[in-house]
Amino acid sequence: MSLETAKSIMKTQVTEKRLLSHSLILSILFSVIGVGAGLYTRSQMIMFDGLYSLLSVVLSYLSLASARFMSKNDWKKFPFGKSIVEPLVIIVKYSAILIMLGASVIGAVYAILTGGRPVDKDMALFYAIFSSLACLIMYLHLRRQSKKQQSGLLSAESSQWLFDTYASFGVLVTFILVYVLDHFNVYPAYLNYIDPLIVLVTAASFAKVPFVSIRMAMKEVLGVSPEGELARNLDALTKEMERKYKMKESFLRVTKRRKLLRVEIDFIVDEHSLVQTIKEQDAVREELERKLHPIKTDKWITVAFTSNRKFAL
């Protein structure tokens, strides 16, 4: 890894730690307000929102601890970097979210089967407006920073705030509906069921992102080669270099863990190849580095040459 790449990673990690610290503080504040409001209003949806914020505190601290660990300058101990930490953290975070969603669904079903739940509508509506606006602002800020820094941890953190925003808007919609129906005395016998029903709908809408994110993170942990345009471009570039320098054969191995792209290319040379000396090999490496430079991510590139095919397999 080049010095420039290492400096870029360190700068990103400092920004990650600062933003994750802010997220942790706000998560603590929202969890206290949410749980308190849920108990006061007897709303299962507000309690869902508060418990999610409480879970976010734990998960934000996990992200912060991971960012601190990854920012430590101990390349001798971890010569290939710590990129695997990021997808592992994402798997843990989204697994915890899925567990919370499952518990919320069970509680909502129980409430429906036992006659629903009456709530303090005025207090719940006030809380919903405040929570929705605050969570939306935090989500938009973290999303913008995650794209700017190309950070998987910040992206996962912004997703947590997006879920919290959805939950808050779910609370808002719930109690606008309850308030209107109660004001016009429409279906009064069914008002107690709206709160747990919205919990079920919200939990179901949350479930897709954790499942997809866990699947993607598992691919990164297992080192599955990326697909799509990036994979096609790297394969085309390798074949181009193979033909240009009359290599006998080439092998391309690629893995991508969030913002770190690892590329290993093994060229098989023979007496007809245009690469015979170390100087000529370095020239090929320089050319590959120039052509890979437009890929906007941190890169770890290894290019090897051998005349014996078994050393490339």
Backbone angles phi, psi at 251, to 5 degrees: -130, 125
Among 108, 110, 120, 216, smallest CA distance to 167 is for 108
CA dihedral 64, 68, 71, 72 (to 10 degrees): -170
Distance CA 267, CA 256 (A): 21
Name the residue with tokens 């863990």. Answer: 257
In 228-267, which ranges are continuous DSSP H helix? 229-244
Residue 92: CB atoms within 10 Å: 16
Ranges assigned E (strand) in the chain: 249-257, 260-268, 298-306
- Burial of residue 311 (CB within 10 Å: 0-12, 13-18, 19+) is exposed
**Domain locations in the chain?**
3-222, 229-312
Per-position DSSP letters for 126-140, written without gaps between them: HHHHHHHHHHHHHHH
**Per-residue tens of pLDDT for the chain, all 313 residues:** 555 555 555 666 677 778 878 887 887 888 888 888 888 888 888 888 788 777 777 777 777 777 777 767 666 666 666 777 778 888 888 888 888 889 889 988 998 898 888 888 788 888 888 888 988 998 998 888 888 877 777 887 788 788 778 878 877 887 888 888 888 888 887 888 888 888 888 888 878 888 888 888 888 787 777 777 888 889 999 999 999 999 999 999 988 776 778 889 999 999 999 999 999 999 999 999 899 888 877 788 899 999 988 888 7
- Output DSSP code: residue 207: S
What predicted TM-score, i.e. pTM, was given to this entire model?
0.64
Fold designation for 3-222:
Alpha-lytic protease prodomain-like (1.20.1510)
Name the residue with tokens 């919903």. Answer: 128
CATH of 229-312 among 3.30.70.1350, 3.40.50.300, 3.40.1710.10, 2.10.70.10 = 3.30.70.1350
Name the token pair of 246: 């009359």
Give me the sheet containing 249-257, strands edge to edge: 249-257, 260-268, 298-306
